[in-house]
């Protein structure tokens, strides 16, 4: 039996009738049109589907949509403010942290969660923070550097 799901996505209050077995990823993409969040492996290995649920990173492909009722979801589409990219997004773009781009939404979300917890992470802390996100293009080095650069910029701005 479908149930009413009400939640906040990127600051917007949204609702939908949702079958209990559906995942948050499917509802974000198919019901709410938030296609920035990607389906990679669909079994929690790759991290392309990463979103924040009440500020914590979650693989949305393996999280039941109805468990998100009343919670605040942040997708990659909630990182930019109006037309201004988030410092992480800019650093990824300018530093070559993006090649094909498919892992990027999940990488950005995991990086945002890491910097919220640790504004000045070591390289090892960055690699640990991104350990649930696979990238098959970059070799990770430009991604790690982009996070370091964004972190420094965000610290300087506060």
Partner 1 sequence: MTERFAAPTSLEEALAILGRDRAARPVAGGTDLVVASRQGRRPLPESIVAIDRIAELAHHAVADGSLVLGGLTTHAWLAETPEVRSGWTALADASAIVGSPATRGTGTIGGNLMNASPAAETTAPLVVFGANVMLRAIGRGSRIVPVASLATGPGRTSAAPDELLTTVVVPAPDPMSGSAYIRLEYRRAMEIAVVGAAALVTLAGDGTIAAARIALTAVAPTIVRAPEAEIALVGAAADAAAFRAAGAAAAGAASPIDDVRASADYRRAMLAVVVARTVAAAVARARGESIPIPASRWAHGQEV
Residues of this chain that bind partner 1 (CB under 8 A): 1, 3, 19-21, 23, 42-45, 47, 50, 53, 56-59, 61-64, 66-67, 69, 110, 113-114, 128-129, 131-133
Q: Residue 78 corresponds to which tokens in the numbers above?
A: 């909630």
Minimum gap (Å) between residue 53 Cβ and partner 1: 8
Nearer to partner 1, 89 or 133 (CB): 133
Nearer to partner 1, 96 or 148 (CB): 148
Query: How many residues belong to the chain?
Result: 158
Nearer to partner 1, 67 or 148 (CB): 67
Nearer to partner 1, 20 or 33 (CB): 20
Give the C-alpha distances (Å, rounded to integers) separating 85 from 42, 45, 88, 96.
28, 28, 8, 16
Select from 115, 151, 149, 152 the least CA-distant residue to 130.
Answer: 115
Cβ–Cβ < 8 Å for 47, 110: yes
Minimum gap (Å) between residue 138 Cβ and partner 1: 17
Question: Measured between alpha carbons, how far is 80 from 111 in angstroms, rounded to an integer?
Answer: 14
Minimum gap (Å) between residue 82 Cβ and partner 1: 28
DSSP-derived secondary structure letter, 157: H
Minimum gap (Å) between residue 125 Cβ and partner 1: 10
Select from 17, 49, 62, 65 the least CA-distant residue to 134.
Answer: 49
């Amino acid at each position: 039996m479908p149930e009413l799901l009400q939640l906040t996505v990127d600051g917007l209050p949204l609702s939908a009738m949702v079958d209990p077995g559906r995942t948050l990823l499917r509802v974000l993409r198919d019901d709410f049109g938030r296609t920035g969040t990607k389906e990679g492996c669909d079994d929690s290995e790759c991290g392309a589907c990463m979103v924040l649920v009440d500020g914590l990173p979650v693989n949305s492909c393996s999280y039941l949509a109805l468990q998100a009722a009343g919670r605040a979801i942040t997708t990659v589409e909630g990182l930019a403010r109006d037309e201004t990219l988030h410092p992480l997004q800019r650093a990824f773009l300018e530093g070559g942290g993006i090649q094909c781009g498919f892992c990027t939404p999940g990488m950005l979300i995991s990086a945002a969660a890491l910097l919220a917890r640790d504004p000045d992470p070591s390289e090892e802390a960055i690699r640990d923070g991104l350990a649930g996100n696979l990238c098959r293009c970059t070799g990770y080095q430009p991604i790690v550097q982009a996070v370091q650069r964004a972190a420094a910029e965000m610290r300087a701005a506060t």
